[in-house]
Amino acid sequence: MYSRIAGIGSYLPERVLTNAELETMVDTTDEWIRSRTGIERRHIANDDQTTTDLAEQAARRAMENAGVTPADIDFIVVGTTTPDVVFPNVGCLLQQRFDIHGCPAFSVETACSGFIYALSIADRYVVSGGAKCALVIGAETLSRMTDWNDRATCVIFGDGAGAVILQPADEPGIISCHLGADGRYHDLLYNPYGTSKQRKPGDTEGPYIQMRGNEVFKVAVKTLENLVDQTLAENHLDKHEIDWLVPHQANTRIIQATAKRLDMPMDKVVMTVREHGNTSAASVPLALDTAVRDGRIQRGDLLLLETFGGGFTWGSSLIRF
Ligand code: ACO
């Protein structure tokens, strides 16, 4: 038994924040942001929108695309670093929205790698017969932990959600998932506070994303190169057999480096970073949905998904769509 993606959907909040607007907020330029990151605009959730709101819209679109209803869902896993509340988790909040009750519902907290971690877990449940219709989501409202006075981070991040429905299949499907993490790098990309570690008087860091961007960049490029090599080797694949690279949308230059490693022309690489910015766990399913809906990715294509984020964490998935 295998699992396959039976449906996909995504959602972006309506409000668009352009580089031109950011020029009025911090000391930056459209030219700097475009040349260093590839980003031109990003979507930002309204004040009354939470991660669950974004996830719900993406999930409804994925269910519609798969031809299933909420009553068919028997497993919910959400990759997110920006849950609405500490608990209940976003999966439980979604259950309530869909008025379905009883199935496992949880979230995984691996920053930008959240969706691929979630996909990997759901795949194992479907393959082992533990789930027949799994809802897998990556959803974030990173704008809520972005310091809008810090030009080094606020130009990068955006909000959004993407979702897939996984169902059993006789043929793969999800061919393989490869996950990794290295906590030695915890201080290159982090939010200093949470629940058991709270901000104290005198603490200099704010409750926002802290990033040593240049150092993150270097480790990301090296790790992603190793990850794609590992994914190809473990599947005895030649790099030219991949039809589409669907990378984490952090930075055009990081994506180009991975594409070069795969000897892939950029027109075979799905790029949404220009319009979405870095939406963390939502980035890969948002990119995948974009290319499915505009007709580039077709059923039967061989896809390589990859991601890298805070922790550090990373993950890839080889998929026959
Ligand atoms: N506008 C203008 N200048 C800026 C800005 C800005 N928005 N931000 C930084 N600068 C300046 C810096 O102050 C620095 O100035 P200096 O030379 O006078 O000191 C100069 O630009 C160069 O700064 P660098 O940080 O070296 O720039 P770099 O080319 O590395 O680009 C960036 C920065 C875009 C952040 C890049 O390093 C990057 O993309 N890193 C990876 C981010 C990433 O992948 N994160 C992973 C996932 S996120 C997650 O898990 C939540």
- Find the catalytic residue in 19, 89, 191, 248: 248
Q: Does an H or E element contain 154, and which?
A: helix 151-154
**φ, ψ dihedrals at 10, nearest 5°:** -150, 170
Task: Verify whether ligand 1 is closer than 6 Å to residue 250 (CB atom).
Answer: yes
Q: For residue 71, report the phi and psi dihedrals to the nearest 5 degrees.
A: -65, -20
310 pocket-lining for ligand 1 (C-beta < 6 Å): yes
Looking at residue 156, its pLDDT comes to 97
Which backbone phi and psi does 246 adopt, to 5 degrees? Answer: -120, 90
Measured over the CA atoms of residue 83, residue 47, residue 113 and residue 166, the dihedral's sign is positive
Ligand 1 contact, 155 CB (< 6 A): yes
The token pair that represents 203 in the structure block: 């603490």
Is residue 141 classed as helix, strand or coil in its secondary structure?
strand
Amino acid 67: pLDDT: 98
Q: Whose CA is nearest to atom 20 of ligand 1?
A: 152
Residue type present at position 74: D
- The mean pLDDT of 185-194, rounded to a whole number, is 97
33: CA distance to ligand 1 center in Å? 9
Which pLDDT does position 40 carry in this prediction?
A: 98
Can you tell me which atom of ligand 1 is nearest the CA of 253? 39
Of all protein residues, the one whose alpha carbon is nearest to atom 36 of ligand 1 is 213
268 contact partners, CB below 8 Å, separation of at least 6:
242, 243, 244, 245, 259
pLDDT digits (tens, 9 = 90+) for 217-270: 999 999 999 999 999 999 999 999 999 999 999 999 999 999 999 999 999 999
CA of 47 to the centre of ligand 1 (A): 27
Active site residue 46: no
Which of 235, 124, 135, 224 lies closest to 180 in space, CA to CA? 224
Query: Residue 111 CA: which ligand 1 atom is closest?
Result: 50
Note the pLDDT of residue 174.
98
Rounded to whole angstroms, the Cα distance separating 247 from 224 reads 10
- Joined together, the tokens standing for residue 67 give 């031809």
Residue 250 Cα: closest atom of ligand 1 = 44
240 catalytic, yes or no?
Answer: no
Number of alpha carbons in the 13 Å side-chain half-sphere of residue 138: 29
Mean pLDDT of 177-196: 97
284 touches ligand 1 (CB under 6 Å): no
pLDDT, residue 181, reads: 98
Percentage of the chain exceeding pLDDT 90: 100
- What local confidence, expressed as pLDDT, does residue 305 receive? 98
Q: Is 112 a catalytic residue?
A: yes
Over range 293-309, report the average pLDDT.
98
The per-residue pLDDT for range 68-125, each reduced to its tens digit, is: 999 999 999 999 999 999 999 999 999 999 999 999 999 999 999 999 999 999 999 9
Sheet with 134-141, edge to edge strand ranges: 2-11, 159-169, 134-141, 75-79, 105-108
* DSSP β-ladder status, 189-190 and 174-181: unpaired
Pocket probe mutation, ligand 1, options 17, 144, 217, max atoms within 8 Å of Cβ: 217
Query: What mean pLDDT value characterizes the chain?
Result: 97
Helices 252-261 and 30-37, interaxial angle, to 10°?
20
Token pair recorded at residue 31: 């030219």
Q: Is 309 in the pocket of ligand 1 (CB under 6 A)?
A: yes
Calpha distance 142→209 (Å, rounded): 9
Q: Residue 307's beta-bridge partner residues?
A: 315
DSSP three-state, residue 320: strand
Residue-level pLDDT at 39: 98
Out of 112, 133, 154, 177, which one is annotated catalytic?
112
* 287 Cβ contact partners less than 8 Å away, ≥ 6 residues apart: 162, 246, 247, 249, 270, 271, 272, 276
User: Does ligand 1 lie within 6 Å of residue 36's CB atom?
Assistant: yes
Cα gap 52→56, rounded to integer Å? 6
